[in-house]
Every structure is written in structure tokens, then in C-alpha cells.
Chain A
Amino acid sequence: MGLDALVRELAEESRYAILDLGPALGANVDFWSGFACRIHFADLYGSLAEAGFHAGGEEPLWDSALLRRVLPFEPGTRFDVVLCWDILNYLTQEQVTSLVAYLAGFCKQGTYLFAQFWLSPRIPARPITFKIVDREHLRYANRDPETRSWAFFQPRDINKIMEDFRVAGSFLLRHGIQEYLFVYRGGSSQP
């Protein structure tokens, strides 16, 4: 639903720069190829795991140097769309806040940010890989049967984290996920 709302905002004849924080999937490349876009796959969760996060031990320092390492964009880069999927659920509120502020530096006024938040206190142990079937259908490529607890953001937390964005749409899915389509209002975090 959120993806459909996003796609309705995009014009096929335009060229978009898309940042996908999930892993690269052929189905998603095929889907976005209809928009003559440039899409950057960051696999943020995988990159954080490579950096030592979520390994069970003491976690590395979460700072701007880490973000520059896992999301290495040239100054001046501006994305039209940022796809966060459910990855924000796997970070603390402080980490999400700094990540969103970092990403805002690569947004422009009107940039769309698509994110999903769980409504239950336990979530799959790892982020779900979503395959885009079409604009109205996503398929779970690897939903982990193991579960874990998470920061469990309330709507007020989400509003605070996303203070430089406005909510363009919010959609409740049957699986206990709330999808949000945010729009960047512009802010002071441009690098």
C-alpha cells in the first residue's frame, strides 16, 4: 500500500535517484527499471553486521564516521526516494535519529522516504527482505521465524525521529506492520 502510494507520486517519464537500504534483489531492480532510475543498494543491515553490529558482543561506536562508511555518498548527492523498509526497527531510537539526520543530508525538499514499523513488541530476528511483485504486492523473501524484542517506537517517537519529514500516507498492513510514506520538508542538515 505504501509502495503503491509512492509509485503514484512518481512519473514514469522522469528520472529518479533511489536509495534502497535493503539488499539488492533482481525483482526490485526489474520493478524500478520502469522508471529509468538510478538505484543505489546499500544493504544497510548487512553492512552494519560486517561492521560488528548485531553480533551479540559489544557493539562498535555508532557515530558519523560509521555512517559515512556504511553509506558512502559523495557530497551533493540528492536522492528522490529513500526505501528504508523495516530496517529502522532494528536500531535504537538514538541510532535511528542520527541515521535519519544523516540521510536527510542527501534528501531534497520533496524526497520520499518509505519505512515500515512493527506494531508488536517482538519482531523477526532479522529484517525481512521484501521482493516487489508489483506496486501493490510485496513478497517476504526471508522472514526469520526467530523473534527478538525491539525499541518499539510509538507514534510520538516516530514523529520525533522524523521531525524534518511530514507524513504523506500511513497504512496498516494485516501482518502487524504500519507503513509510512514520509516527505522531506527540508531542514538544516544539508552537508
Chain B
Amino acid sequence: MWKKSEPEATVPPPQPQPAPPPRTSVQAARERAVIGPSIEIKGDLTGGEDLQIEGRIEGKIDLRRHNVIIGKSGRVQADIYGKVITVDGEVLGNLYGEEQIILRQSSTVRGNLTAPRVMLEDGSNFKGSIDMTSKESAAAPGHETRPGAAGPKPPAPAGTAAPPASGPGTGA
């Protein structure tokens, strides 16, 4: 019934495929906007693509559906709203991550972090509060003990003004 000896259909040997060309910094830059180290912006930033900041920003950054990277040379004094916020540089302000906030080893952050997931690498210099309540658990009945929006103020380094208190929930 079955011809065991019938030769199986031969599969042609795999041909060597040319390796995909390495991603160049130009291509990476095309996938997200980059604010270079010599750029200084005062005001609000909004947009529809990922953003990498290597320069200085003062104001507010609102990219809730996109990723925000504060590069090693980035200096930001602003509240930041993003999907995933990654900090390598310095931030004075509150961070609101829709999905995650990552503070790298080289980061210095003074402010409050709000995101479902927060990752601090050892060596990161952070002072402030971390609220890891997801939207789902925030809606559930809980044991919240604080009245209203009272809570820790974002700490300000000596000689620096406290970050703007705009944005939701600065309370502990």
C-alpha cells in the first residue's frame, strides 16, 4: 500500500542568502527623530514618531504613543509622556510611561515615575517616587491612603527649580 522505498521529494539545498546590510546610524535615525547635542529647545514637544534627545529640552514632551530616549548627552527639564521612556542622560521632571520606564546606569533623574513597569539599572542616580500601578489595577479598589494629589514633591537639586507640577498624580 505504501511504497516505503519511493524516493522522497528532494528539497533543493539552501542557497546562501546575502546577509542583510547592517543598520547604519542614518537608518536608525530615520526610524526616530533625533535632537542633536547642540540643539536647545524651550517649549512643548509633540509628534508622531519615536524621539531620541541628545540636546537640551525645557518644557513638556508628549509622545504617549511613541518611545522616548534621553541619550547620554541629553539634558531635559520637563515632564515626559511616552510609551517606553529610556533615560541615559539627565532629567528633572516627572516621567509617565504608557508601558515602561528604563533608567540606565548613566542616568540621573529627579522626579516621579509612573508606569506599569519600571527598571532601574544599578548605578542609576534616581530620587523621587515610583508608581507602578497599571491602569487596570489603578481602577480596582485598593488601599490608597493618601488624600487627593498630596504626596512627595519631585525633589530639586540644590540651586535648581523644582520641575513643573503639571500632569497627573504627583502624590504618593
Contact = CB atoms under 8 A, between A and B. Distances in A.
Chain A partners chain B: yes
A24 B124 contact: yes
A29 B130 contact: yes
Task: Tell me the interface secondary structure of chain B in the complex.
Answer: loop
Interface residues of B, number: 35
A19 to B, nearest CB: 8
Interface string B105-146: 000000000000111111010111111110001000011111
A38 B172 contact: yes
A11 B148 CA distance: 23
A25 B119 CA distance: 9
B153 A72 contact: yes
Contact of B152 (A15, A47, A50, A74): A74
Nearest to B121: A26
A33 B150 contact: no
Nearest to B123: A26
Interface string A4-42: 000000010111110100001110010001001111111
Contacts of A50: 157-158
A14 B141 CA distance: 8
B101 to A, nearest CB: 10
Interface string A49-86: 01100000000000000000000111111111000000
Interface string A164-185: 0000000000000000000000
A43 interface: yes
Given A40-B172, A41-B127, A76 B120 contact: no
A82 to B, nearest CB: 12
Contact of A75 (B118, B150, B170): B150
Contacts of B172: 17, 19, 38, 40, 73, 77, 79
B146 A17 contact: yes
A126 interface: no
Contacts of B155: 42, 47, 72
Given A26-B121, A41-B128, A15 B133 contact: yes
A74 B127 contact: no
B37 interface: no
Contact of A40 (B143, B144, B152, B156): B152
A43 B16 CA distance: 56
A47 to B, nearest CB: 7
Given A36-B137, A80-B145, A74 B150 contact: yes
A29 B103 CA distance: 12
B133 A24 contact: no
B132 A33 contact: yes
16 contacts: A15-B143, A15-B144, A17-B146, A26-B120, A26-B124, A29-B118, A38-B129, A38-B130, A38-B131, A38-B172, A50-B158, A74-B152, A75-B150, A77-B152, A77-B171, A108-B145
Interface of B: 117-122, 124, 126-133, 137, 142-153, 155-158, 170-172
Given A40-B130, A78-B146, A80-B145, 15 more contacts: A14-B142, A14-B143, A15-B137, A17-B172, A29-B120, A36-B133, A36-B137, A37-B132, A39-B129, A40-B129, A51-B158, A72-B155, A76-B147, A78-B147, A141-B122
